[in-house]
Amino acid sequence: MIRIVEDVRDVDIYLSLRKQVGWIELERQQAGKALGNSVKVFTVYDDEKPIGMGRIVGDESVISYIQDLIIIPEYQGKHIGSMLIEHLIEYVKSITMPGTRMMLCLMCAKGREEFYEKHGFIARPTPDLGPGMIQYILQ
């Protein structure tokens, strides 16, 4: 049975999921700090097997980001990613203060735009919004 569990901040699960989808390898300490500093972590299980994860990071007031939306390859295309992202969106709605609005942002992997657009996200730039930008800091 597929279920979403809140606040499992297990470094081994996180690193394993990242590896299964071919993402850049992180140091254990870096991964632990990322999980620890997340506003909320949601892990998707099939029975006892971790098959996905999504994190919310941000200030819990003005802006939140969906980070590390992961579904391992053998479970992709089964609407589990949609279930997870809707869960993340509902969580952010639940922490948005009455009478205010919260920006919910993410960085989309190339080729995944349609998935996020189905869930209400808009691509930038638009006539009113400039492009999203990034800078990697290397040490």
Asked if 54 and 30 touch (Cβ cutoff 8 Å), the reply is no
Nearest to 131 by CA among 111, 112, 105: 105
Strands 63-71 and 49-58: antiparallel
Mean pLDDT, the chain, as a whole number? 96
Res 137: pLDDT: 85
Helices within the chain (DSSP H only): 11-20, 28-36, 80-95, 113-118
pLDDT digits (tens, 9 = 90+) for 7-52: 999 999 999 999 999 999 999 999 999 999 999 999 999 999 999 9
Tokens of 49: 């097997």
Calculate the alpha carbon distances from 28 to 32, 33, 34, 66, 118 in Å.
6, 9, 10, 21, 34
Nearest to 18 by CA among 62, 59, 53: 53
Could you say which DSSP state residue 75 is in?
G
Q: 0.75 exceeded by the pTM? A: yes
Q: Which domains does the chain have, with CATH numbers?
A: 2-118 (3.40.630.30)
